[in-house]
């Protein structure tokens, strides 16, 4: 749902005097999380506020070209400075997530902050911590919502080429390059306006998708070799062990998008990737679906996770083999939905 007029008034009043503002994306930020926070940050600084993006942890190299990247504070790397910023902030925007727990180690610092909160997010079941909660699960991306947010403030004239590039990036990555069902005519209208404002679409696609390392492509080869199909459940899954990652000089973001290869198989409507993470002692999972099968519900029920109907994440504390065995044992319960 769009922001109501009361919320718009509250935001206008919160921004009517110069504020110290922190903008927070979720842990393991993706293109939408970084694009939305950096675009909003540039806008707020141009309006005379002192705004900074504080990300819970590092993000992939293919997002490092985003305008404003150099000023991002990484909580895990410089915890003291980040904590100070949060504690002294008047206002905190949380973007592209629905609960403090999605910020990992930052959860407690945010929960005890004295600032007012504004949430802008498109995930299901938002928590209730913000003075203004702009939540719309029908939206393609938080970046599209930031555009609508600025529109509600009658501020789209302030979108420059840098901000346009940030917003374009998040809409592009969260819609799988404009192919997921969340992509609407309005999404394309927003994209059109962003290109008109200077977003170099072709350049952005190349920056995000054409900067692979040779080892990353070889890791993709391993993932595809490991792909298994369960035709009776229209399901495909991929596994990657820590050793397979180590043998291919794994860098953050290298496995982004791998899960979609499962979903590209004819007749498959549910795809999962299980990635072993020895440092955190977990199996990290990405889940994707086509149609009505809700991976949000599946991840919430079985894997301490969540997300959207067709894209979600979660984790398991079992070993990789045990996790996969358990996953296979759960599927019969969903036979009528798959
Ligand atoms: P991805 O699989 O690309 O990491 O994430 C897919 C979607 O699920 C994203 O919208 C992401 O924010 C969400 N997501 C990923 N991991 C988790 C998780 O552990 N918990 C919750 N609640 N959402 C997640
Ligand atoms: Mn998003």
Q: What is the pLDDT of residues 156-167, one digit of tens each?
A: 999 999 999 999
Given the DSSP bridges, would you call strands 73-74 and 91-95 parallel, antiparallel or unpaired?
unpaired
Are residue 169 and residue 61 in the same domain, yes or no? yes
Are 141 and 198 in a shared domain? yes
Based on the domain organization, do 14 and 31 belong to the same domain? yes
Q: From the CB of 313, is ligand 1 less than 6 Å away? A: yes
Ligand 2 center to 50 CA (angstroms): 25
Please check whether residues 129 and 190 belong to one and the same domain.
yes
Residues in contact with 303: Cβ distance below 8 Å, sequence separation at least 6, in sequence order? 285, 287, 314, 315, 316
Q: Is the CB of 170 under 6 A from ligand 1?
A: no
> What pTM was estimated for this model as a whole?
0.95
- Boundary (domain end) residue, out of 155, 181, 209: 209
What CATH number has the domain bearing residue 328? 3.10.310.30
Which tens digit of pLDDT belongs to each residue from 221-258?
A: 999 999 999 999 999 999 999 999 999 999 999 999 99
What is the H or E stretch that residue 270 is in? strand 270-277
Same domain, 177 and 221: no
Rounded to the nearest 10°, the torsion over CA 103, 129, 292, 315 is 30
Whether 67 and 115 map to the same domain: the answer is: yes
The domain boundary residue, chosen from 209, 224, 250:
209
- Does 131 share its domain with 229? no
Distances (CA, A) of 156 to 130, 151, 163, 187: 24, 5, 10, 15
* Domain assignment of residue 281, given as a range: 214-334
Mean pLDDT over 291-318 rounds to 96
CATH of residue 185: 3.90.1640.10
Whether residue 102 is found in the same domain as residue 220 = no
Residue 25 in contact with ligand 1 by CB distance below 6 A? no
Total Cβ atoms within 10 A of residue 138? 8
Shared domain check, 197 and 57? yes
Residues 222 and 192 in one domain: no
Q: Please count the structural domains in the chain.
A: 2
Residues in the chain: 338
Q: Give the model's pLDDT for residue 1.
A: 79
Nearest-CA residue for ligand 1 atom 6 is 312
The mean pLDDT value for 51-57 works out to 98
Indicate the residue among 157, 185, 209 that finishes a domain.
Answer: 209
Which residues are CB-neighbours of 295 under 8 A, at least 6 positions away?
A: 270, 287, 288, 289, 307, 308, 309, 310, 311, 312
Q: Tell me, yes or no, whether 139 and 221 share the same domain.
A: no
Both 265 and 308 in one domain: the answer is: yes
Return the number of other C-beta atoms located less than 10 Å from residue 175's C-beta.
Answer: 22
């Amino acid at each position: 749902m769009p922001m109501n007029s009361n919320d718009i008034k509250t935001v206008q009043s919160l921004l009517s005097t110069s504020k110290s503002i922190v903008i927070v994306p979720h842990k393991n930020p993706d293109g939408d999380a970084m694009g939305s926070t950096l675009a909003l940050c540039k806008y707020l600084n141009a309006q005379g506020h002192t705004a900074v993006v504080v990300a819970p942890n590092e993000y992939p190299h293919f997002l490092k070209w985003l305008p404003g990247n150099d000023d991002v504070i990484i909580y895990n790397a410089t915890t003291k400075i980040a904590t100070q910023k949060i504690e002294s902030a008047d206002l905190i925007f949380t973007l592209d997530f629905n609960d403090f727990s999605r910020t990992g180690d930052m959860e407690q610092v945010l929960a005890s902050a004295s600032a007012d909160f504004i949430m802008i997010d498109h995930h299901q079941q938002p928590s209730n911590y913000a003075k203004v909660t702009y939540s719309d699960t029908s939206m393609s991306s938080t970046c599209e919502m930031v555009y609508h947010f600025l529109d509600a403030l009658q501020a789209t004239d302030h979108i420059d080429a840098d901000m346009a590039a940030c917003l374009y990036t998040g809409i592009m990555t969260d819609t799988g390059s404009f192919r997921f069902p969340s992509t609407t005519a309005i999404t394309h209208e927003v994209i059109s306006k962003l290109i008109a404002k200077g977003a170099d679409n072709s350049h952005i696609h190349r920056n995000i998708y054409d900067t692979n390392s040779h080892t990353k492509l070889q890791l993709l080869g391993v993932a595809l070799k490991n792909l298994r199909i369960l035709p009776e459940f229209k399901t495909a899954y991929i596994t990657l062990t820590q050793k397979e990652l180590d043998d291919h000089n794994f860098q953050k973001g290298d496995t982004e998008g791998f899960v979609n290869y499962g979903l590209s198989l004819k007749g498959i409507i549910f795809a999962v990737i299980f990635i072993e993470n020895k440092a955190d002692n977990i199996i990290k999972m990405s889940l994707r679906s086509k149609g009505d099968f809700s991976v949000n519900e599946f991840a919430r029920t079985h894997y301490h996770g969540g997300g959207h109907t067709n894209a979600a994440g979660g984790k398991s504390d079992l070993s990789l083999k045990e996790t996969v065995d358990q996953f296979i044992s759960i599927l019969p319960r969903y036979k009528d939905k798959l």
